[in-house]
Amino acid sequence: MTDPQPEQEELEEPPPLLSRWRNLYVLVLAELAALVGLFYALTRWAS
């Protein structure tokens, strides 16, 4: 494998929110966990 060329590194831009891709992924996973919890609570309430 070869190292990425500097031109490729310049093409990688930060995400529009939260300044780092890792932070954006954490936000998406937290939202998913919140939705799972919400739907679980709703299912328990409705049954």
Domain that holds residue 33: 15-46
The reply to whether 20 falls in a domain is: yes
5 occurs within a structural domain: no
pLDDT at 15: 86
pLDDT at 16: 86
4: in domain = no
Q: How many CB atoms lie within 10 A of CB 27?
A: 13
The total of structural domains in the chain comes to 1
The pLDDT, as a whole number, for residue 4 is 61
Is residue 19 situated within a structural domain? yes
**Tens digit of pLDDT for each residue in 10-45?**
678 888 888 999 999 999 999 999 999 999 999 999
The answer as to whether 10 is a domain residue is no
pLDDT at position 33: 98
Distance CA 43, CA 47 (A): 6
The pLDDT score that the predictor gives to residue 13 is 87
pLDDT at 28: 97
